[in-house]
Every structure is written in C-alpha cells, then in structure tokens.
C-alpha cells in the first residue's frame, strides 16, 4: 500500500513513517519545514529514513494546486494526516499561518481524499498545552481554544464518511454533488 504522511518531519510523523516502512508499505512524506520548530531536527528526522520505498516533498497543505498534483501523481491508498500548528498561543501571534495549516490545509487534505480512504487521527490529546490539559466538557463546550478549532476539523471527516456511504448507495451522483469536480 502507498501512504501519504503529512507533517512527516515532526516527531509523530517520523515514527508513523518508520512503522509504515517497517510494515512494507511505500511512504510519501510531506512537510512544509517551517521554522515554527527547530528545522534542523526536522531535517535530521527526514534523513534518518532512507529507502527506495520512501520519498519526501516539501509542500504546504494550503498549497492546493501543489497538493492536487501530488495526489494525481502518487495515487495514494491511505492518508495519515498529522499536520497542525499545535500551540495555543500561535493563533494570536500568527493567525494566517495558523488558519492555513489548521483550517485550509485540513480542508484541502479532506477534499483531495474524497476519492481515497481517509485515516483521521485527532491530535487534541497529544498536543495539548499544560495550561489546557484539563478538559471542561465536550469539545463543543470546552473553553480550550484548540478544542474549539478541532470541532470543525473533526466534523469534516464525518462528512467524508457520509459522502462515501451515499456514493455506495447512490453511485457517482453523490460524488458529483458533494465533491468538487475538476
């Protein structure tokens, strides 16, 4: 199987890629290698995995055209989407970068996965900052900003599941209605 791993230069992305390779899969990794975290760590992680079954593309998820070309060229079987800006203060410091990564990038991945199987991994718990570590209710009632953001991102994969179910029942009509065709 061929997997796309987003945020592949991150700690979790590196280990996900490593496990997929060990299981005999092909892995295509993307990461924008931004300087939000130390880029030398990211580059070191990328260089640790060398194999004919692994490739890397420097690409931002908000780059819709670049991602569409990647999906068309690579024809993935599965997508493990891990890309997100994880810190709570970041939306205040750099709201456009945060929105591009967490909202637009996430939407672009879902749109490109419309014809593929989509594996959604919620990263609310692993990346919660200490000050927000105690949950105060469901994501819809939580006061943690990350939970508020995650409501939209966790709803979109459910929509993809509904579209897939409709497609099985109605055929391609549901796909034409729900997915943007080129």
Walk me through the domains of the chain, giving residue ranges and CATH numbers.
Answer: 2-117 (3.40.50.720)
Quick check: 69 and 21 in contact, CB under 8 A?
Answer: no
Give the integer Cα–Cα distance in Å for 79 and 21.
Answer: 14
pLDDT of residue 134: 43
Tokens of 131: 């000050």
Report pLDDT for 23.
Answer: 92
User: What pLDDT is stored for residue 28 in this prediction?
Assistant: 94
* 110: its two tokens: 């879902």
Return the pLDDT at 41.
86
* Structure tokens that stand for 98 in this block: 């945060």
Whether the CB-CB separation of 25 and 1 falls below 8 Å is answered with yes
Phi and psi at 112, nearest 5°, equal -70, -20
- Contacts of residue 34, defined as CB under 8 A and 6 or more positions apart, other chains included, come to 97
pLDDT of residue 30: 93
**CA angle (68, 181, 61) in 5-degree steps:** 25
Length of the chain: 182
Supply the pLDDT for residue 181.
43
Taking 50 as the pLDDT cut, the residues of the chain under it are 121-148, 174-175, 180-182
pLDDT at 106: 81
Task: Tell whether pTM > 0.85.
Answer: no
- The pLDDT value given to residue 157: 62
Contact partners, residue 112, CB within 8 Å, separation at least 6: 67, 68, 71
Would you state the pLDDT for residue 20?
A: 92
Q: Give the containing element (helix H, strand E) for 172.
A: helix 172-178
Task: Give residue 168's pLDDT.
Answer: 66
- Please tell me the predicted confidence (pLDDT) of residue 154: 60
The per-residue pLDDT for 164 is: 65
């Amino acid at each position: 199987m061929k997997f796309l791993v987003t945020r592949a230069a991150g700690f979790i992305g590196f280990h996900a890629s490593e496990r997929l390779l060990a299981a005999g899969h092909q892995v295509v990794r993307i990461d924008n290698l931004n300087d939000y975290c130390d880029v030398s760590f990211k580059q070191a992680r990328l260089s640790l995995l060398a194999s004919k079954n692994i490739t890397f593309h420097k690409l931002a998820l908000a780059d819709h055209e670049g991602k569409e070309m990647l999906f068309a060229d690579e024809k993935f079987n599965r997508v493990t989407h891990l890309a997100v800006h994880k810190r709570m203060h970041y939306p205040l410091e750099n709201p456009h970068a945060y929105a591009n990564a967490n909202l637009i990038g996430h939407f672009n991945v879902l749109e490109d996965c419309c014809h593929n199987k989509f594996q959604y991994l919620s990263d609310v718990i692993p990346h919660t900052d200490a000050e927000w570590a105690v949950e105060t209710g469901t994501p819809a009632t939580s006061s943690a900003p990350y939970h508020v953001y995650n409501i939209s991102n966790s709803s979109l994969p459910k929509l993809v599941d509904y579209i897939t179910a409709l497609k099985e029942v109605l055929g391609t009509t549901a796909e034409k209605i729900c997915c943007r065709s080129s």
